[in-house]
Amino acid sequence: MSTFSPRKLLLAVAAPVLALVVAFLVTSAILLLLGDPVVEVWQTILSWPKPRQLVQIVNGATVYYLSAVAVAVGFRMNLFNIGVDGQYRVAVFAGAAFAGQAWFPGPLNVLLTIVVAMVAGGLWASIAAYLKVRRGISEVISTIMLNAIATGVVQWLLLKVAVKQQGSNSISTKPIPESSQLDGLGLIPGATNKVYTLILLAVLVGALYWFVINKTRFGFDLRATGRSESAAVASGVKVPRMVVTTMIASGALAGLIGMPLLFGQDHSYGTTFQAGLGFAGIGIALLGRNHPLGIAAAALLWSFLDVQSNALQIRAGVASEVVFIIQGVILFAVVIAYELIRRADVRLEQQRVARELAATRSDASTPEGATA
Amino acid sequence: MVGRDVLRPGPTNHPPGLLSGPGRGVVAITAAPARPDGTSDAHPAVQLEGITKRFPGVVANKDIGFSVARGTVHAIVGENGAGKSTLMKILYGVQRPDEGSISIDGRVVDLHSPADAIAAGIGMVFQHFQLADNFTVLENVVLGAEKLHGIGDAARREITRISDEYGLDVDPDALVDDLGVGARQRIEILKVLYRGAKIIILDEPTAVLVPQEVDELFDNLRELKSEGLTVLFISHKLDEVLSVADSITVIRRGTTVDTVDPSSVNARQLAELMVGAELPTPQTEESTVTDRVVLRIEDIVLAGAGAGRNVLDGISLTIHAGEVLGIAGVEGNGQAELVEVIMGMREPTSGLVFLGDTDISDWRTREIREAGVAYIPEDRQRHALLLEAPLWENRILGHQTEEPNVRGFIINSAGAKADTERIVKEYDVRTPSINVKAGSLSGGNQQKLIVGREMSHQPKVLVAAHPTRGVDVGAQSSIWDIIRQARRDGLAVLLISADLEELIGLSDTIEVILRGRLTGTFDPDTVTAEDLGAAMTGAAANPEETR
């Protein structure tokens, strides 16, 4: 992984590019079949975004990035945390309720809220971890169930603590004090809106994720468990403990997903808070191959498609939901492409090893059996 | 591709599925058109010509050719990795040859799948049995072949008939779980006969048997032969081959070296044909056993699942510095569990494990490994390697907390890589680089990497389970050298093996394990494989102390 070679880079880039091409072709075919204006659709989606939209893309990607990293931590050890969605909603609700109380001044309130959200997300995830380790229940099943339960729990608690908003039917937690609201960063010139301040949090999370997974003993154990649980056990990894730690870490990271939205945009948690971020994270982690930079690229692409599709209705007369088809086909194609490329990679390397050994063997005369 | 004028039943001629092939209609096809009935002896039962199979970068089979006469036992011998398995997969339709032709009874056949092979009258008994333990013999036999004789009395009558005709001694209503290895193998043979096979391939059938069971199997094979069936027998055990085969084909490095008459060769000559050089033998030098106890196990009990008997039942062992203690036993008698208990991967129900004077019974695997217990697991691909990770990461595996792999909590990849280079060099791991995936190496080179890794942390104890299983002769002899060196260096070695030659050649003491108990102690200088075999099955009434 750490050794650079052009072959590896090519293989890494080939799959996503292939998937994008396939998605382009399939979507075009569908549009053609339905008699929609193909050219206009692509012109709209592929036009260069305005500064305002650029900010929206970056902001959307920030949230997606956090979500995908939360999922990727589990993926690296073959732990399928489908419950990121429930975890982030429980966490952002807890965080919003805490922050709204304004027990602490300005920035301290932000920091402590982030901690509260991480704890809440981690705790919610620990239920699934406990069920897996102690009762042998697949985390896929339990986290899906917990997503549904999270919806109910958050709804119920929201009704208890909610304040009614003026002139609206929606309810939400008490808004956070102005001193704790984050105005954002004016990173993109010419835009009236601003990039979430907590994009810095996403960058920090990405860097930490890379470091912990690739450079630490814990990360090695985690990856070993993901590659072969039986070999990890024999090497001395306590797998149940790894499951618990990783699941809670994933939940705690899921707790961060709602933070940029809470501090930079909504300022409270209510019925209108953005939903479904956890599920998007699963796809983005897959597309980004669980790699910190790959996920960043995937998150930007996802957000780009989201934002660019907004204008479809007006400019091309096509429902903006067509973007879900594009995203779906990309995912479908990329999963297949990764598997094909992986197999090709294994085969190529075996060939190369055999070839190079055959070359050296003809020099040496010691007997050595072929891999038959 | 050769063989266009094939007698291949089209896919529509038989129901889909691997085992559901041999319906009556299909059997009729093999017996059909040109030949009315009563197969002529003019044609050999099986004839292979110019079979070549290439895998990426490796030629597994090259221009293989031999013929097998009907009603004979034909052995195919060759060392591990010589290409026997590939050849058998080709004959059974699992893989297709790149070149060459297969003729059955004088007709060229084109085998696309095992279903085609079954339809052509070829049956295969795999080394690893494919039986459902919780089913009866009858249920196992009819599974997937329900169309032949139903699943009731007709099937039972047919099974009994086959069993009587070939002397297989199989009770259709016995539960497979209650049967021993030998009986299970006879069920596998009966399964292929039930499906109408006239040519039976046995892949390393004696690997799982003790000598007494081997004799019974050979009696069965002679019975099959006398009834006009043809048996292809794959093995690398030369004595067995010489005693049962009518003809022997030797394969070396993927190609047929020669086909010989067993009466005209001895084991030595056969071995030289197989290897193309002198065979290494596992011989230790003079004893290096000291009186310093390094590993001691006291009364280990491991309860079985549910109310079953104990998997380990009061095992006590002592291994001294410089001693190799061999454990002989038929697979599945508790060896794997014993190793897992010692390595801390499994919690025993009761009993103690001491390393020197330290009680390590409650230690976890990592602590045990850190304390100097080197571990060569029996299944290297599942327990000792990350196949998709590079060699240098595999060098870290199992020693994630030790120098030179880590510095504190941080992985020291430079240190690990440098040390991997050293291991590759010192232990002769054949690889172009330490950055290739472990899965790209051959079995023998994977094992040399594992052994090198385990010997790199000043171990006091070496637990080696089947250390030379599935490796080529070259790797085998270097692994034997390493074990001998470990013994000279004063390690306590626990050697578990199914290879009795290896056990007798390397061990200072041999213990026999049977149903979770140690049933006898033998001196490798005086014991024979037959004695061990008797003790391994419990045939010896009272295992005698020969020391």
- What is the enclosing helix (H) or strand (E) of B319? strand B312-320
Chain A contacts in chain B segment 334-393 (CB below 8 A):
343, 345, 364-370, 375, 377, 379, 382-390, 393
Would an 8 Å CB–CB cutoff place A364 in contact with chain B?
no
Residues of B in contact with A238 (CB under 8 A): 364, 366
Per-residue CA distances from A323 to A15, A247, A302, B286, B475 (Å): 20, 31, 9, 77, 57
| Cα B399 from Cα A299, distance rounded (Å) | 37
Higher pLDDT, B153 or A245: A245
Find the residue in A nearest to B62 (Cα).
A372
In a domain, A158, yes or no: yes
Q: How far apart are CA B27 and CA B119, in angstroms?
A: 6
Is residue B254 within 8 angstroms of chain A, CB to CB?
yes
Contact A79, A247 (CB under 8 A): yes
Of all residues in chain A, the one with the smallest CA distance to B84 is A372
The verdict on A5 and A111 lying in the same domain is no
Please judge whether B411 and A352 are an interchain contact, meaning their C-beta atoms are less than 8 angstroms apart: no
> B21 near B15, Cβ under 8 Å?
yes
A53 within domain boundaries:
yes
Whole-number Cα distances in Å, B384 to A164, A243, B82, B85, B132: 61, 21, 24, 24, 28
Q: What is the length of chain A?
A: 372
Is A366 part of a structural domain of the chain? no
User: For residue range B302-321, what is the model confidence (pLDDT) as tens digits?
Assistant: 987 665 678 898 999 999 99
pLDDT of residue A338 exceeding 90, the answer is no
Note the pLDDT of residue A154: 92
Residue B278 touches chain A, beta carbons under 8 Å: no
The tokens of B327 are what? Answer: 């454990």
Same domain, A78 and A152: yes
Q: Is the peptide bond before A189 cis (omega within 30 degrees of 0)?
A: no
Residue A17: pLDDT over 70: yes
Task: Flag whether A273 is in a domain.
Answer: yes
Q: Is the per-residue pLDDT at B24 higher than 60? A: no
Find all residues with CB under 8 Å of B500, minimum gap 6, and list them: B328, B529, B532, B533
Q: What distances in angstroms separate CA B359 from CA B240, B294, B296, one per listed residue?
A: 45, 12, 9
Question: Cα–Cα distance between A321 and B115 in angstroms, integer?
Answer: 48
Report CB contact under 8 Å: B364, A238. yes
pLDDT for the residue B283:
61
Tell me what pLDDT residue B353 has. Answer: 93
Overall number of domains in chain A:
2
The residue of A2, A357, A362, A365 whose CB has the most chain B CBs within 10 angstroms, and thus the best one to mutate to test that interface, is A357
- pLDDT tens digits, one per residue of A227-278: 999 999 999 999 999 999 999 999 999 999 999 999 988 888 888 888 889 8
Residue A23 lies in a domain: yes
Read off the pLDDT of each residue in A302-322 and give the average, rounded to a whole number. 87
Q: Which residue of A has its CA nearest to B54?
A: A372
Asked if A171 and A185 sit in the same domain, the reply is: yes
Subunit contact A217:B81, Cβ cutoff 8 A:
no
Asked whether the beta carbons of residue B365 and residue A233 sit closer than 8 angstroms, the reply is: yes
**Share of residues in chain B with pLDDT > 90 (%):** 24
Q: Quote the minimal CA–CA distance from A227 to chain B in Å.
A: 6
Does B444 contact A at CB distance below 8 Å?
Answer: yes
Closest chain A residue to B275 measured between Cα atoms?
A367
List the 237-266 stretch of A: residues with Cβ below 8 A of B: 237-238
> pLDDT by residue (tens digit) across B90-128?
888 888 888 888 988 888 888 888 888 888 889 888 877
Contact A217/B444, CB-based, under 8 Å? Answer: no
C-alpha dihedral (B102, B106, B110, B111), degrees to nearest 10: -70
Angle in degrees, 0-180, between the axes of helices A84-100 and A239-254, rounded to the nearest 10: 50
Residue A170 domain flag: yes
Going by pLDDT thresholds of 50, 70 and 90, the confidence category of residue B15 is very low
Q: In this complex, do B58 and A347 lie within 8 Å of one another by their Cβ atoms?
A: no
**Of residues B350 and B4, more confidently modeled:** B350
Residues 127-166 of B with CB under 8 A from A: none
A127 shares a domain with A4: no
Query: Angle CA(B32)–CA(B38)–CA(B44) in degrees, nearest 5?
Result: 85
Q: What is the structure's pLDDT at B477?
A: 85
Are A63 and A107 contained in the same domain?
Answer: yes
Tell me the percentage of chain B whose pLDDT exceeds 70. 86
Query: Is some CB atom of chain A closer than 8 A to the CB atom of B400?
Result: yes
What's the CA angle centered on A90, arms A144 and A200, to 5 degrees? 110
- Residues A346, A287 share a domain: no
d(CA A340, CA A15): 9
Q: Please give the Cα distance from B363 to B374 (Å, whole number).
A: 15
Cβ contact A356–B432 (<8 Å): yes
Q: Tell me, yes or no, whether A308 and A271 share the same domain.
A: yes
The torsion angles phi and psi of B230, rounded to 5 degrees, stand at -110, 135
Nearest CA in chain A to B58: A354
- Closest CA–CA distance from residue B477 to any residue of chain A (Å): 11
Cβ-Cβ contacts under 8 Å for A178 (sequence gap 6 or more): none
For chain A, the helix, strand and coil percentages under 3-state DSSP, each to the nearest 5: 70, 0, 25
Question: Chain B: nearest CA to A88, how far in angstroms?
Answer: 30
Q: Residue B29: what pLDDT?
A: 34
The CA-based angle B458-B462-B464, given to 5 degrees, is 140
List of domains in chain B: 11-275 (3.40.50.300), 293-537 (3.40.50.300)
Question: What is the residue range of A187's domain?
Answer: 48-208+240-315
What amino acid is encoded at B90 in this protein? I
Best of A4, A76, A214, A235 to disrupt the B interface (most B CBs within 10 Å) is A235
- Range in B170-184, B399-413, B487-501 with the lowest mean pLDDT: B170-184
CA quadruple A224, A226, A228, A231: dihedral sign: positive
Instruction: Please report residues of B whose CB lies closer than 8 A to that of A343.
Output: none
Asked if the model's pLDDT at residue B38 lies above 50, the reply is: no
* Contact criterion met (CB < 8 Å) for A354 and B56: yes
Q: Indicate whether A76 pLDDT > 50.
A: yes
CA distance A211 to chain B (A): 9
Query: Do A85 and A108 share a structural domain?
Result: yes
Q: Does B276 touch chain A (CB under 8 A)?
A: yes
Residues A217, B411: C-beta atoms closer than 8 Å: yes
**What DSSP string describes B479-545?**
HHHHHHHHHHTT-EEEEE-S-HHHHHHH-SEEEEEETTEEEEEE-TTT--HHHHHHHHHT-SSS---
CA quadruple B128, B131, B137, B142: dihedral sign? negative
Q: Residue A84: inside a domain, yes or no?
A: yes
Same domain as A65, residue A112: yes
**CA-nearest residue of chain A to B378?**
A234
CB < 8 Å to B411, chain A:
214-217, 219-220
Q: Is the pLDDT of residue B282 over 80?
A: no
User: Searching chain A, which residue's CA lies closest to the CA of residue B79?
Assistant: A369
In this complex, the residue of A217, A235, A372 whose CB is nearest that of residue B82 is A372
A310 and A323 both lie in a single domain: no
Hey, what are A314's tokens?
Answer: 């007006």
With contacts defined as CB-CB under 8 Å, which chain A residues touch B475? 368-369
Residues of A in contact with B86 (CB under 8 A): 372
Cβ-Cβ pairs closer than 8 A, A with B, add up to 159
A217 vs B: CB within 8 A? yes
Cβ within 8 Å, pair A350-B382: no
**Nearest chain B residue to A370, by CA:** B81
Compare CB distances from B432 to A220, A236, A352 and report the shortest one's residue: A352
CB proximity B97 to A under 8 Å: no
A370 — pLDDT class (breaks 50, 70, 90): very low
The predicted structure's pLDDT at residue B526: 85
CA distance B474 to chain A (A): 6
Residue of A nearest to B444 (CA): A369
Check CB contact of A367 with chain B, cutoff 8 Å.
Answer: yes
pLDDT above 50 (res B18):
no
One domain for residues A255 and A346: no
What average pLDDT does range A149-159 have in this prediction?
A: 91
Residue B254 contacts residue A370 (beta carbons within 8 Å): yes
In a domain, A114, yes or no: yes
Mark yes or no for CB contact A352/B398 under 8 Å. no
The alpha-carbon gap from A140 to the nearest alpha carbon of chain B, in Å, equals 24
Q: What's the pLDDT score for residue A1?
A: 43
Whether A354 and chain B come into contact, CB under 8 Å, resolves to yes
Is the minimum CB–CB distance between A362 and chain B shorter than 8 Å?
no
Q: Mean pLDDT, to the nearest integer, of B121-143?
A: 87
Distance CA B336, CA B384 (A): 14
* Shared-domain flag, residues A166 and A111: yes
A369 to chain B: closest CA residue: B472
For A226, the closest chain B residue by CA position comes to B386
- With a pLDDT cut of 70, the percent of chain A lying above it is 93
Give pLDDT, residue B275.
65
pLDDT of B172 higher than 80:
yes
Q: Which amino acid is at B74?
A: H
What span, in angstroms and rounded, lies between the C-alpha atoms of B513 and B523? Answer: 15
pLDDT for res A59: 93
Cβ-based contacts of B256 with chain A (< 8 Å): none
